Structure 1
């Protein structure tokens, strides 16, 4: 098991792991006992943003309807609509060698699909985590467990990968939003 991070902690990725070029970002969660009549459909997304923390265009938003960035730098492996089973529920593969030079950070987020209609929020989600695995060695380098700090939020910025002096770093954020995916898109400069 890799390094366990706390909220707000930052760590070098490519400097301390010199051979790291491709990483798997695994996200997982469980739902609490819930009798609302609907499954929880949580969705992982990636926002590739510039120095102003904004997406340059719609292609910089990677999610279940846009699985791959044109550069090949970020690929979503597919939508898991129930979160059933152990391990990662959804994954994003990041190839640091292909990330365009204008991208300063990659925001990794999770939203609850149709949360307002289904009256669901992250207060009903437990054991949420993100982990980063070196794809070449299948070794988990780090893990960040979100904890149970949420109540009404239906979207969370879990972490960011960011570039500093041509090296990539990881920032454990764990910041909740209300307003779902639309709120996150607006935050990152996209029109909804």
Structure 2
């Protein structure tokens, strides 16, 4: 049975699951009834970060247009433009054993594509979650449901995998940004246009 986390909680991933090397990180969401006339397009993105919490290069930013990090150990499965249906809307595969040594943390984020331009925010999104699944067995190990109401944010850091004493842990973050993907990129040390 999956362990359900609350905002701010941290949990061992590899220590409590010996032999775990390949995981799937599923992110999902629904949009509330919305009459703005524009479609909602939420996107999962991933930042591979060094010990200072910064991305070393653009290749450490994984999303639908850059689906893999430099060695392929973090891979985005593709863009879901509608979020329709139950279950994971977007997935990221992570080979924990192959993640480069200089990657100390992997941050998983959800952003609203053109959120400001379309007058959309996470106050119009419900049932957002992140879950970690053992790729081999298909067993859900960890789940974090974002119950918080982000009324003006257009980007959310949902959770982070991080190294601690040779093991991988997961932290339920739930931190919002008002300036979307550009704000996240700046936060992680990448220049934005």
Q: CA separation in 1, counterparts of 2:132 and 2:88?
A: 11
- Structure 2 unmatched ranges of 5 or more: none
CA RMSD of aligned residues (A): 0.7
Partner in structure 2 of residue 16 of structure 1: 16
Partner in structure 2 of residue 165 of structure 1: 165
Deviations 1:144-166 (A, max 9, x none): 00014210000000000000111
Deviations 1:9-36 (A, max 9, x none): 0000011101210100000000011011
Partner in structure 2 of residue 127 of structure 1: 127
Deviations 1:39-73 (A, max 9, x none): 11000011000011000010000001100112111
- Structure 1 unmatched ranges of 5 or more: none
Helix, strand or coil at the partner of 1:181: helix
Partner in structure 2 of residue 105 of structure 1: 105
CA contact (8 A) 1:154 1:178 kept: yes
Partner in structure 1 of residue 76 of structure 2: 76
CA contact (8 A) 1:41 1:82 kept: yes
Partner in structure 2 of residue 31 of structure 1: 31
Partner in structure 1 of residue 117 of structure 2: 117
Q: CA separation in 2, counterparts of 1:176 and 1:109?
A: 9
Q: CA separation in 2, counterparts of 1:27 and 1:93?
A: 12
Q: CA separation in 2, counterparts of 1:35 and 1:141?
A: 37
Task: List structure 1 runs of 4+ shifted beyond 2 angstroms.
Answer: none
Partner in structure 2 of residue 180 of structure 1: 180
Q: CA separation in 2, counterparts of 1:149 and 1:86?
A: 21
Helix, strand or coil at the partner of 1:189: coil
After TM superposition, give the deviation of residue 173 of structure 1 in Å: 0.4
Query: Could you tell me the TM-score, scaled by structure 2's length?
Result: 0.98
Helix, strand or coil at the partner of 2:174: strand
Q: CA separation in 2, counterparts of 1:45 and 1:150?
A: 18
The count of residues paired between Structure 1 and Structure 2 equals 192
